[in-house]
């Protein structure tokens, strides 16, 4: 019979089984999150006298609430991370966060304003407790220097996007066509499945994300030399947050400016069928699912060949590739200006989203992994929370850039974002060797035995 400590070391397809527990938990959490998000604004603005009545708000009020909601869900990751570091550990934080999310989503299934606000508040708290900490736990499955860590984050990221791809289609359909509250309820059922996976999977997560009391941890960190190293790593980590803000500031044009652009200025007729603009939103998630494996494989091969493959290098390359996506969009903007119909081909958008996702896969999972390597163990959840905060700032930046396009015109903005991303990415590549020194080897890949020991 297998003991619990044996179970935690079991692997499947070269990774600890705990990774798949976290994969499916996060897949369902994201299913509920993106499903609910897909119908939130539509529900708010749907008239109250329809067969499927909404709240009848105007667009501006709905977008304001949406803006605050998306900002708060990630901003609350900061206290979520702190609570895990200081009080309960990541594993329990994920469990409590999951419970809050089940309650929040299921309350939204009730048709009352009181239930609506309570549901939203519980979801904000739940995501804050769950999202940063489950990401930290992925890193906790691997020892320092384990080459599988980056790949593990990409696998995890694919799980996120399977949820993100299916949710708008399933929850969106049920909510919009049948009943908003059935849609919200369906998101809740998704989260409940995630919570059951997590509870069942505890046996594969022994020793991962456990609370480490500060006194015990601080004993290991009384060496002053180590704290200088830790400081350097924090500096490089904060720098990576700047990359993250710039990247999301560009990428998250998807839901705003690129969405409107697709709706108004892209010819979406294909094979006699007009592709809805919102369809392009699911495209990114689909690309992540398709490209996640090949890109992770590419980086593993690249590393094995002995080429430069530090996290910062990948992030620099990712920023440049994302920038080139905007060059394609500038191409679309030029075609729009020149064509008689005033519309550009949809292939520009397919290409732009493709490059954006190649960039995303070289940045977002890499950044998650980088945090778990760089932050001192006792601050890792907090730093993960800070990373999510950087993400929310990136989202805000994206909104500002989108607004600027209203007066400057799309072509100028697309070219500007292209130039800025490529320039910034190149600058990063120039300094990558020097910046790498600040990591003091924590980003280096070593030859690790295949047996996983959680650390
Ligand atoms: N698709 C990613 C996710 O849902 C977007 C994201 C990245 C959100 C980083 C927060 C932080 O996880």
Per-residue model confidence as pLDDT tens digits over 370-412: 998 888 888 888 888 889 999 988 888 888 888 888 789 889 9
Tell me the per-residue pLDDT of 107-141, one tens digit each, with 9 for 90 and over: 999 999 999 999 999 999 999 999 999 999 998 99
In 3-state terms the chain splits into helix, strand, coil percentages (rounded to 5) of: 75, 5, 20
Take atom 12 of ligand 1 and give the residue whose Cα is closest.
160
In the chain the domains, ranked by start, together with CATH numbers, are: 11-211+227-437 (1.20.1250.20)
124 CA → ligand 1 middle, Å = 15
The response to whether residue 160 sits with its C-beta less than 6 Å from ligand 1 reads: yes
The full DSSP string for 33-67 is: HHHHHHHHHHHHHS-TTSSS------HHHHHHHHH
Which of 40 and 117 is assigned the larger pLDDT?
Answer: 117
The response to whether residue 165 sits with its C-beta less than 6 Å from ligand 1 reads: no
Dihedral over Cα of 346, 352, 358, 361: its sign: negative
Read off the pLDDT band of 58 (50, 70, 90): confident
Tell me the per-residue pLDDT of 281-313, one tens digit each, with 9 for 90 and over: 788 999 999 998 899 889 888 888 888 888 999
b/e map of 230-267 (b: 16 or more CB within 10 Å)? bebbbebbebbbebbbbbbbbbbbbbbbbbbbbeebbb
The response to whether residue 310 sits with its C-beta less than 6 Å from ligand 1 reads: no
326 CA → ligand 1 middle, Å = 21
311 CA → ligand 1 middle, Å = 18
Read off the pLDDT band of 419 (50, 70, 90): very high
Q: Taking all residues of the chain, what is their mean pLDDT, rounded to a whole number?
A: 87
Q: Is the pLDDT of residue 447 over 70?
A: no
Tell me the C-alpha distance between 205 and 355, whole Å: 35
Tell me the C-alpha distance between 189 and 120, whole Å: 16
Give the chain's count of helices (H) and strands (E).
Answer: 16, 6
The response to whether residue 253 sits with its C-beta less than 6 Å from ligand 1 reads: no
Q: Is the pLDDT of residue 218 over 70?
A: no
Helix (H, G, I), strand (E, B) or coil at 446: strand
Helix (H, G, I), strand (E, B) or coil at 209: coil
Highest mean pLDDT: which range of 165-169, 281-285, 427-431: 427-431
What is the Cα gyration radius of the chain?
Answer: 22
Take atom 2 of ligand 1 and give the residue whose Cα is closest.
160
Tell me the C-alpha distance between 82 and 133, whole Å: 10
Q: For residue 69, what are the CA distances in angstroms to 32, 167, 241, 375, 392? A: 15, 18, 22, 28, 11
Q: Where are the alpha helices (H) located in 269-339, listed in sequence order?
A: 279-304, 311-338
3 CA → ligand 1 middle, Å = 35
CA angle 182, 184, 185 (to 5 degrees): 60
Give the atom of ligand 1 at the shortest distance from the alpha carbon of 285: 1
> Tokens for 37?
């998000």
Pairing relationship of beta strands 273-274 and 269-270 according to DSSP bridges? antiparallel
- Given the structure tokens 């206290």, which residue do they identify? 79
- Given the structure tokens 């304003």, which residue do they identify? 113
Take atom 3 of ligand 1 and give the residue whose Cα is closest.
160
Number of Cβ atoms within 10 Å of the Cβ of 14: 11
pLDDT for res 220: 54
């Amino acid at each position: 019979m297998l003991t619990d400590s044996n179970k935690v070391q079991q692997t499947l397809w070269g990774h600890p089984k705990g990774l798949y527990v976290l994969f499916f938990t996060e897949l369902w959490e994201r299913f509920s999150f993106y499903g609910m998000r897909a119908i939130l604004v539509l529900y708010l603005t749907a008239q109250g006298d329809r067969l499927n009545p909404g709240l009848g708000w105007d667009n501006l009020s709905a977008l304001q609430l949406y803006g605050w909601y998306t900002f708060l869900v990630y901003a609350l990751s900061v206290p979520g991370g702190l609570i895990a570091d200081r009080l309960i550990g990541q594993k329990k934080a994920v469990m409590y966060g999951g419970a809050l999310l089940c309650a929040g989503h299921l309350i939204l299934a009730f048709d009352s304003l009181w239930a609506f606000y309570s549901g939203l508040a519980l979801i904000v708290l739940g995501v804050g407790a769950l999202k940063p900490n489950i990401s930290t736990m992925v890193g906790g499955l691997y020892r320092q220097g384990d080459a599988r860590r980056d790949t593990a984050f990409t696998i995890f990221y694919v799980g996120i996007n399977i949820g993100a791809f299916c949710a708008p289609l399933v929850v969106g359909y049920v909510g919009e066509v049948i009943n908003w509250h059935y849609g919200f309820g369906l998101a809740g059922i998704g989260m409940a499945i995630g919570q059951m996976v997590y509870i069942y999977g505890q046996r594969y997560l022994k020793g991962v994300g456990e609370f480490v009391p500060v006194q015990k941890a601080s004993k290991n960190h009384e060496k002053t030399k180590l704290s200088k190293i830790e400081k350097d790593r924090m500096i490089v980590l904060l720098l990576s947050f700047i990359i993250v803000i710039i990247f999301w500031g560009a990428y998250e044009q998807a839901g705003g400016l690129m969405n409107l652009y697709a709706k108004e200025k892209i010819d979406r007729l294909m094979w006699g069928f007009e592709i809805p603009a919102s369809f392009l939103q699911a495209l990114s998630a689909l690309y992540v699912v398709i490209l996640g494996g090949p890109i992770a494989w590419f980086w593993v091969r690249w590393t094995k060949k002995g080429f430069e493959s530090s996290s910062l290098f990948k992030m620099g390359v990712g920023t440049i590739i994302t920038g080139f996506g905007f060059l394609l969009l500038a191409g679309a903007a030029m075609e729009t200006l020149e064509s008689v119909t005033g519309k550009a081909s949809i292939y520009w958008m397919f290409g732009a989203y493709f490059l954006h996702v190649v960039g995303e896969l070289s940045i977002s999972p890499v950044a998650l992994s980088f945090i778990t390597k760089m932050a001192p163990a006792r601050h890792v959840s907090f730093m993960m929370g800070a990373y999510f905060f950087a993400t929310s700032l990136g989202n805000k930046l994206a909104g500002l850039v989108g607004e600027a396009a209203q007066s400057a015109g799309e072509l100028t903005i697309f070219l500007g974002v292209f130039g800025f991303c490529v320039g910034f990415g190149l600058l990063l590549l120039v300094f990558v060797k020097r910046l790498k020194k600040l990591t003091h080897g924590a980003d280096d890949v070593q030859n690790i035995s295949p047996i996983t020991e959680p650390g």
